[in-house]
Amino acid sequence: MLWVTREYVHVDRVACPWLIRRFIDNRAQFIFLPKEQIPEFVKKTGAVPFDTGGGVELDHHKCDGEDHCTFDAIVEKHGLKEDEALQRVRRVVRAADTNGLDKEPRAWALEVVATGVPLLVNSDQEVLEREFPVYDALYAFFQQEIVREKYKADIEKMKTRGETRSFIKGKIRGLKSKMLDQA
């Protein structure tokens, strides 16, 4: 599928392509354009517009009086609410993208990365390449957090970091996830 959004990506416009590639379409292609060029591009190509700054299905919105970002809209549309680790990533992305940095301390890390990486590269595509591993790591962090919560007593009995890491990796494979194979 071909997706299109505004150029000069920041938190939500990196998190959404990560979400799409990892959970919806691992061969998705992304085009970044000036906002005013997006409607014509969509008309010509049939690309799916997201986070365009208004007027499309996959964009910022309110939910129960709370500001939600495009990442939320994509999770909701594609039925990805059952993955608990992804829901934790979702909360961090939302906080970073909707002025909720004071509500979620981890959101600051995404803001730092989203501000710094574009200064190191020459295109939005390169930003995605550099930042996707951050989102992969955040997702894995939350998966291990869930395993640690669920198997706390078992983990407390382990003597080494290696033993603990192997145990957690094994249990992560059993977590409910719709993450696509990254082949």
* pLDDT, averaged across the chain: 95
Q: Which pLDDT value is given to residue 177?
A: 82
Instruction: Specify the amino acid at residue 174.
Output: G
pTM: 0.94
Phi-psi region of 121 (alpha: psi -120 to 50; beta: other; left: phi over 0): beta
Q: Residue ranges per domain, the chain?
A: 2-172
Q: What does residue 168 show for φ and ψ, rounded to 5 degrees?
A: -65, -45
How far apart CA 72 and CA 87 sit, in angstroms, is 9
Q: Is 31 helix (H, G, I), strand (E, B) or coil?
A: strand
pLDDT at residue 11 in the model: 97
Q: Indicate the pLDDT class of residue 174, thresholds 50, 70 and 90.
A: confident
Q: Map tokens 């998705």 to a residue.
A: 28
| Residue 183 confidence class, pLDDT cut points 50, 70, 90 | very low
Retrieve residue 51's tokens. Answer: 């986070």
The pLDDT, as a whole number, for residue 181 is: 67
